Structure 1
Amino acid sequence: MAEAGTGPSKVAWQVMWNRLVSVVEEQARALIRTAFSPSVREAGDLSAGVYDAQGRMLAQAVTGTPGHVNAMAEAVGHFIRRIGRQNMFEGDVYLTNNPWEGTGHLHDITVVTPVFREGILIGFFACTAHVTDIGGRGFGADGESIYEEGLHLPIMKFAERGRVDETLLTLIRANVREPDQLVGDIYALAACNEVGLRRLHDMLGEFALSDLAGLAAFILEHSRAATLARIKALAPGSATASMTIDGYERPIDLCVRVTIEGERILADWAGSSGVDAKGINVPLVYTKAYTAYALKCAIAPEIPNNAGSLAPFEITAPENTIVNALPPAPVALRHVIGHMLPDVVFGALDELMPGTVPAEGAGALCNFQLSLRPRSDAPPPPGVRRAEVLMFNSGGSGARPALDGLNATAFPSGVMTMPVEAIEHAGPVIVWRKELRPDSGGPGRQRGGLGQVMEVGAREGHEFHLSAMLDRLRHPARGRRGGGPGAATIITREDGTPLGGKGRHFVPHGGRVHMAFPGGGGYGPAEERARALVERDLALGYISAETARDLHGLSTERIAEVLARARRGEIFGGEQP
């Protein structure tokens, strides 16, 4: 497989590259198997990657979120600078949750492990996981500075030469509500890097490599060249787009200019709203992560994600805007803004690359956290306990130029919706209802994806605070190219009393919270939707009889016939209703 006098052939390097990807995927799987937090085990809110000795990302695991992976791409450089190469030793493990040098907020722990071979530093493994609690006010948007949002762990050593810093662990345990869970997650992060490290050593031995330098050069050069080829094939130009979303107490404007220029693509967020008083601000590293992700999805989706393929995308934002908030701005819910950024970028790309990008979707994850405690209005029964339960949920994604949007699917984050069984196992929570939300997908030639309906409460003897992290109550996802908007978010008490989309809401013993999550926008005019697809939507319960009649023109007789066939279990359009 080697060419005479030139070292490994291109085929051999490609085999090694594929093997490296399998190494980091096993690294991520080790984290999923060993993590304590349900958000990691069940939702996949994590990332894992391998880096060369300069801190450049070479490969990422398929499992993981763009916000973690692309933000973590810059993080290893901060670890090298802060720790210093001269202070790095075999057996070390480093960590941080610094929002500006990690992945954007205190609830993400990033762990980095140096790789030594024959005493020489040759690279790094890094991983990130979202943790349920980090102290402070708890996960939510209510803080007005980073100091209120939890325990800040600067870049530091978790272990030196194989010995864990027990003083650090004591400090962590004293400042969080779920100490066993958090410490367990930190050990899981360290263990997953160790799995990657061992598999990498096996690989290097198998291919007779002393370091990663040659493989890194091959990966980064080919990835960058492939991305540049895609960019050069595009017509040069510039376009702007904007989006208004709910914010906390006032609407937020997000504005971007995307420029295709020679061997690079520029995205500038000038014109976006200023820093907010509450914890929805975004550090620049997270803005870069989701902006680059949107550009890659549209322009070079098949090219592996690494430092080389990310290099041609240049992202800027003015300081002290909501997309480049500086310390000590509160940033706990940076994802609520950050997850909206790809749809804004797509708005600009729709002018530059017509017929390529989808309509707007739900964007931000429909998350909420329950802080449960014994009821205070009467003596609680035995066995009542305190608990923190975080739930990951999704609205619908936007319709695509040739396909409907995906129902209850997290785009752009890519995390999975947590099963009801896992939620109820994590604490004294009852999920009374969780189902798709009919008529929530925006109408169009291609229909937007459906959101969900949820109803949650607590087990007997408990009351709770619900920390809402929702958007699109007042600004639903917009359709594209004539498509209609998706349904807006709704959150109420059991009696119909409206609740805010962000912030803490007290729910007394026996109370429930009802939530309807948003749908994605439609693509193209609704009158162009194929009649067979309308009938299939009706049979599957995606749209109501009223929508089929009033919007799509189905007769009362035809609606009755379709519904009768659906009740008999007949197949519509290749799907079993």
Structure 2
Amino acid sequence: MLIANDPYRTGNHNNDLLFVRPVFHDGKIAAFVNLNAHQLDMGGAVPGGFSRTKRNVYENALVLPPMLIAHAGEPVEHVWNLIFDNVRMAEVIQPDIRTLLSGLDLGERLLRESIERYGTGAVHGAMAYVCDVAAERMSAGLASLPDGEWSAFELVDCDGADDTEQYEIHVRLVKRGGRVEVDLSGTSRQARTSINGTALDVKTTVGIALKYLFDPRGRFCSGNYRDIDIVVPDGTIVSALPPDGPTFMYFEQNQALLGALLRALSRAVGEAAIAGDRGSPDLHTAFGVTAEGRPWVSAMQCGGEVGPLGANRYGDADCQAMTYQANGVVPEIEAIEAATPVVVLRHEPVPDTGGAGYHRGGVARLRDSAWLTPAAHTLNQLRYKRAPGFGVNGGKDGSTGGVWEFPPDGTRTLPDPPTDVAAYRTARPLAGVIDDATGLPAPDGRYHYPSTEAATRRPR
């Protein structure tokens, strides 16, 4: 079995381990079984890895080129040692990896059963058939699109170095006959910190956007790309290169690219257009040490990880989702509070914030957490300068959000979450475009950079 996690070879980020097992028949490789699974930590400068401040691949995390993790049914000891000499939370990760390898064993057994029952030729024929059908379905869907050119861009507010540079992701789609070209020329250079993506992630994102619009019910495989050409210049924020183009928060750029594609094509597909979602998972990570000296990490638990999607022709949108191209991260509040020194005070939808319309966007969400001990915090709010939740078919754009610190009142009792907008006048904004007078998000407000010392190191 092979393992790898180098984003420039496999896509995604270092915490996503790719496992590959060749399946042999009659002494030859007949197929491969693959698994890609996220791990809690892969080393690097920040526990859990979810920070946009890392400046190069050496700070980012442990990098594994393709190498054997098992051979002839036995673990390759030096590879296991390499991993577990560099990662945190090994007591969780080690059994997880063993479970994944067992999954590959099962995949091989099932595939070998099919080969032995039907023959290698039939199994390969079935694989080719699935790809051919996917190609035909996408071709039929694209046939509904008239020849033409469409373009759009999405904005990423900043990186983790400072707030002096913002990044634009440009897309230009050209349809001629049966082919579509997606050109990302004009996209900003790679970021100075770990918010970049790779060209492999671009390919995935383009495929997802076109499937959403032209073949939402078919299988997703390599056949979808048969009539699609993708132009990606090297060294952009969506096609970064090592060592100074670290990629960890790759999903931020994927989501911005997906939004740009949906925005560009919204004028071409009419009723099939999909409104923009909130654009970013708005991840929050906290980490510290208990009184007994045990390290703890809260990754993707107490930020804005879930929120609204945009509406489409099928109905109103969800408001308890991550983003169009991300996982659903909704851990139990009891589990969060049992594992980390925090109390979740509020997690609720905001009525009537989805706008008016025949099909309405998802509503905004409020989330308040009370941290009980000093901790380091990292905020990853990258999409507040421009509302990513764009409307289609006459719908209006959404609004942006923010992050605020409400300092303790000096007592040992838990605070009540703010129930009146007046409370935000005295709160400390940590992220967002905020009006100085009201303390609330406003298009003409002042931008608050989420990687200041106040936003990343103060207990909240």
Q: Which residue pairs with 1:415 in the alignment?
A: 327
1:442–1:479 Cα contact (<8 Å) kept: no
| Counterpart mapping for 1:117-266 below 5 A | 117-138=25-46, 139=49, 140-207=51-118, 209=120, 212-248=123-159, 249=163, 250-266=165-181
AA matched with 1:412: Y
Are the equivalent residues in 2 in contact too, given 1:242–1:256 (CA < 8 A)?
yes
- Residue equivalent to 2:296: 387
TM-score by length of 1: 0.67
Deviation string 1:425-457 (CA, Å, 9 cap, x unpaired) is 444443222112334434444321123222224
The superposition leaves residues 492-526 of structure 1 with CA deviations (integer Å, 9 ceiling, x where unpaired) of: 11232122475461243xxx4xxxxxxxxxxxxxx
**Cα distance change on mapping 1:418 and 1:251 into 2, 3 Å:** same
Q: Tell me the distance in 2 between the aligned counterparts of 1:421 and 1:195.
A: 34
Please tell me whether residue 435 in structure 1 is matched to residue 366 in structure 2: no
Report the 3-state secondary structure (helix = DSSP H, G, I; strand = E; otherwise coil) of the residue aligned with 2:9: coil
Q: 1:280 to 1:436 in 2, by over 3 A?
A: same
> Per the alignment, do residues 435 and 336 of structure 1 end up closer, same or farther by CA in structure 2, a change over 3 Å counting?
same
Structure 2 CA distance for aligned equivalents of residues 119 and 235 of structure 1: 50
Q: Is the 8 A contact 2:343 2:371 kept in 1?
A: yes
Say whether the 8 Å CA contact 1:440–1:487 is kept in structure 2. no
| Alpha-carbon separation, structure 2, partners of 1:211 and 1:117 | 13
Contact 2:306 2:330 in 1 (8 A): no
| Preserved contact between residue 366 and residue 395 of structure 1 (Cα < 8 Å) | no
Q: Give the unaligned 5+ runs of structure 2.
A: 408-426, 432-448
1:499 to 430, 433, 442: 430
Structure 2 Cα separation of the partners of residues 243 and 133 of structure 1: 30
- Counterpart of 2:155, as a letter, is T
Percent of matched pairs sharing the same residue: 26
Deviations 1:20-72 (A, max 9, x none): xxxxxxxxxxxxxxxxxxxxxxxxxxxxxxxxxxxxxxxxxxxxxxxxxxxxx
Cα distance in structure 1, aligned partners of 2:179 and 2:35: 28
Q: Does 1:371 align with 2:287?
A: yes
Candidates 3, 7, 11, aligned match of 1:103 = 11
**258, 279, 284: which one pairs with 1:342?**
258
Matching residue's letter, 2:7? P
Per-residue CA distance 1:279-336 (angstroms, 9 max, x = gap)? 1111111111112100111011122111112332222221111111111211111111
- Contact 1:113–1:125 (8 Å) recurs in 2: yes
**Which SS does the other structure have where 1:418 is aligned?**
coil
Contact 2:207/2:224 (<8 A) preserved = no
* Contact 2:263 2:390 survives alignment (8 Å): no
Cα distance between partner residues in 2 of 1:363 and 1:191: 36
Q: Contact conserved, 2:190 with 2:236, CA < 8 A, in 1?
A: yes
Check conservation: 1:141, 1:502, Cα contact below 8 A.
no
1:387/1:191 Cα in 2 relative to 1: closer, same or farther (>3 Å)? Answer: same
SS at match of 2:457: strand
What secondary structure, in the 3-state scheme, does the structure 1 residue paired with 2:95 have?
Answer: helix
Match of 2:390 in 1: 478
1:123–1:212 contact (8 Å) kept in structure 2: no
Report the alpha carbon displacement of residue 482 of structure 1 after superposing the two structures with TM: 3.4
Aligned equivalents of 2:352, 2:294: Cα separation in 1: 39
Distance 2:79 2:115 in 1: 34
Q: Secondary structure at the match of 2:135?
A: helix
- Identify the residue that residue 355 of structure 1 maps to in structure 2: 271
Q: Aligned with 2:238: secondary structure?
A: coil
What's the offset of the Cα at 1:277? 0.9
Distance 2:108 2:336 in 1: 33
| 2-structure distance, mates of 1:422, 1:312 | 47
Instruction: Assess, with a 3 A threshold, how the Cα gap between structure 1 residues 502 and 242 changes in structure 2: closer, same or farther.
Output: same
Matching residue of 2:377? 466
The alignment yields a C-alpha RMSD, in angstroms, of 2.2
Asked which structure has the greater CA Rg, the reply is 1
Letter in structure 1 aligned against 2:327:
V
With over 3 angstroms needed to count, the CA separation of the structure-2 counterparts of 1:425 and 1:116, relative to structure 1, is: farther
Q: Is the 8 A contact 1:255 1:270 kept in 2?
A: yes
Structure 2 counterparts to residues 322-341 of structure 1, below 5 A? 322-328=237-243, 329-341=245-257
Q: Residues 170-201 of structure 1: CA distance to partner in whole angstroms, max 9, x if unpaired? A: 22222122122222332232222222222222
Give yes or no for contact 2:24–2:30 (8 Å, CA) kept in 1.
yes
- TM-score when scaled to structure 2? 0.83
Q: CA deviation at 1:264?
A: 2.3
Specify the code of the residue in structure 2 equivalent to 1:124: F
1:136 is paired with a residue of what secondary structure?
coil
Which residue pairs with 1:272 in the alignment? 187
CA distance in 2, matches of 1:148, 1:266: 36
Structure-1 separation of matches of 2:370 and 2:71:
45
Amino acid at match of 2:206: T
Q: How many Å separate the matches in 2 of 1:343 and 1:475? A: 12
Quick one: which amino acid aligns to residue 272 of structure 2? Answer: T
Q: Distance in 1 between matches of 2:211 and 2:325?
A: 14
- 3-state SS, counterpart of residue 323 of structure 1: coil
CA distance in 1, matches of 2:226, 2:281: 28
CA contact (8 A) 1:117 1:210 kept: no
User: Which has the larger displacement, 103-112 or 193-202?
Assistant: 193-202
Structure having the higher helix fraction is: 1
Partner amino acid, structure 1, of 2:366:
V
In 2: Cα distance, 1:373 partner to 1:463 partner = 9
Judge conservation of contact 1:132–1:389 (CA < 8 Å) in 2.
no
Maintained 8 Å contact 1:241/1:347: yes
Residue 153 of structure 1, CA deviation: 0.8
Q: Is the 8 A contact 1:444 1:484 kept in 2?
A: no
Give the Cα separation in 1 of the matches to 2:141 and 2:330. Answer: 36
Structure 1 residues 164, 288: CA separation in 2 closer, same or farther (over 3 Å shift)?
Answer: same
Q: Give the whole-Å Cα distance in 2 for the aligned partners of 1:368 and 1:129.
A: 21
Read off the aligned partner of 1:255 and give its amino acid letter: H
Instruction: Select 1:489's aligned residue among 401, 410, 415.
Output: 401
For residues 364-398 of structure 1, give each alpha carbon's deviation from its aligned partner in whole angstroms, at most 9, with x where no partner exists.
22322221213xxxxx3xx5621122226222111
Q: Is the 8 A contact 2:251 2:326 kept in 1?
A: no
The answer as to whether partners of 2:270 and 2:393 remain within 8 angstroms in 1 is: no
**Letter of the structure 2 residue corresponding to residue 391 of structure 1:** M
The Cα of 1:475 is off from its aligned counterpart by 1.9
User: Any conservation in 2 of the 1:255–1:269 contact (CA below 8 Å)?
Assistant: yes
Q: Do the aligned partners of residues 227 and 401 (structure 1) sit closer, same or farther apart at CA in structure 2, a change above 3 Å counting?
A: closer
